[in-house]
Amino acid sequence: MKFDEPEGATPLDPDEINGLKFDHISTRGELDELEQANITQGLRWISRRRSGDILTDDFARTLHKRLFGEVWDWAGTYRLREKNIGIDPFHISVQLRILLDDARFWAENGTYKPLEAAARFHHRMVQIHPFPNGNGRHARIATDIYLSDYFDHPPIEWASGFDLQADNARREAYIAALRSADAGNFDPLLEFVAGDKAS
Ligand SMILES: Nc1ncnc2c1ncn2[C@@H]1O[C@H](COP(=O)(O)OP(=O)(O)O)[C@@H](O)[C@H]1O
Ligand SMILES: [Mg+2]
């Protein structure tokens, strides 16, 4: 089975597709719906969550499992395969820990304004690409939790009325901004996360 992916997504390997917990899924739309239902449950889990540090690799994995664990049996486990996006899988756990420590440092020392810390956190998280799939959705939610817990800041308007999982102008701007950040220029991503608000 092969699902059409939007631009800037990570295609699944056959063994990852075997991790699908449902038989008889044949279209991208059916899969999207199952994942979305799971994500809705995950978001409810987040809102019930007691305090506790979210900048830990345990939380990153638990969050991924809460968002995708009803659909994929590899949810919450790091990627073992190379992808078109992402670092060498061998380096994921160390690089993710460094990012989480950096993000804590930025918040504790006021290194960046909240939205810039969030943009940098988000970009590095998707650049590491810890999981076989769901990295964009996981990292957008993780970034909003980081903003809330560490900065008492409202969430980012990622979609702004569009579907960020489909090809459209908003996704185009998002992917282009991430690619700029890959090249070291964060301005487009800062503009993207700020929306019409000042950062
Ligand atoms: N050039 C890039 N640099 C960093 N991150 C990227 C780049 N291109 C895409 N991404 C991120 O990867 C995500 C796609 O990865 P994927 O695991 O398929 O996530 P999802 O299934 O949630 O869409 C995009 O939503 C985006 O966050
Ligand atoms: Mg994907």
Give the pLDDT band of residue 199 (cuts 50, 70, 90): very low
Nearest CA to ligand 1 atom 4: 127
Give the count of beta carbons closer than 10 Å to the beta carbon of residue 109: 8
Is pLDDT at 88 greater than 80 in this prediction?
yes
20-194 folds as Fic-like fold (1.10.3290)
Per-chain residues with Cβ under 5 A from ion ligand 2: 9, 133
Give the pLDDT band of residue 50 (cuts 50, 70, 90): confident
Distance, C-alpha 96 to centroid of its chain = 13
The pLDDT value recorded for residue 1 is: 58
Ligand nearest to the CA of 129: 1
Q: Supply φ then ψ for residue 80, to 5 degrees.
A: -110, -15
The pLDDT value recorded for residue 25 is: 86
Give the pLDDT band of residue 4 (cuts 50, 70, 90): confident
Residue 6 Cβ inside 6 Å of ligand 1? The answer reads no
Residue 197 Cβ inside 6 Å of ligand 1? The answer reads no
Q: Is 5 helix (H, G, I), strand (E, B) or coil?
A: coil
Q: Is 104 helix (H, G, I), strand (E, B) or coil?
A: helix
Tokens coding 140: 């957008």
> What average pLDDT does range 119-129 have in this prediction?
98
Is pLDDT at 197 greater than 80 in this prediction?
no
Give the pLDDT band of residue 24 (cuts 50, 70, 90): confident
**In the chain, where the domains are located:** 20-194
Residue type, 22: F
Nearest to 195 by CA among 180, 173, 179: 173
Q: Which atom of ligand 1 is nearest to the CA of 126?
A: 5
Q: What is the Å distance from ligand 2's center to 133 Cα? A: 5
Residue 137 Cβ inside 6 Å of ligand 1? The answer reads yes
Q: Give strand pairing partners of 72.
A: 20
Q: What is the Å distance from ligand 1's center to 123 Cα? A: 9
Residue 42 Cβ inside 6 Å of ligand 1? The answer reads no
Largest CA distance in the chain: 51
- Measured CA to CA in angstroms, residue 19 lies from 56, 101, 106, 162, 179 at distances of 25, 31, 37, 29, 29
- Measured CA to CA in angstroms, residue 57 lies from 40, 142, 194 at distances of 22, 12, 27
Residue 10 Cβ inside 6 Å of ligand 1? The answer reads yes
Residue 188 Cβ inside 6 Å of ligand 1? The answer reads no
Higher pLDDT among residues 198 and 52, named by residue:
52
The pLDDT value recorded for residue 48 is: 95
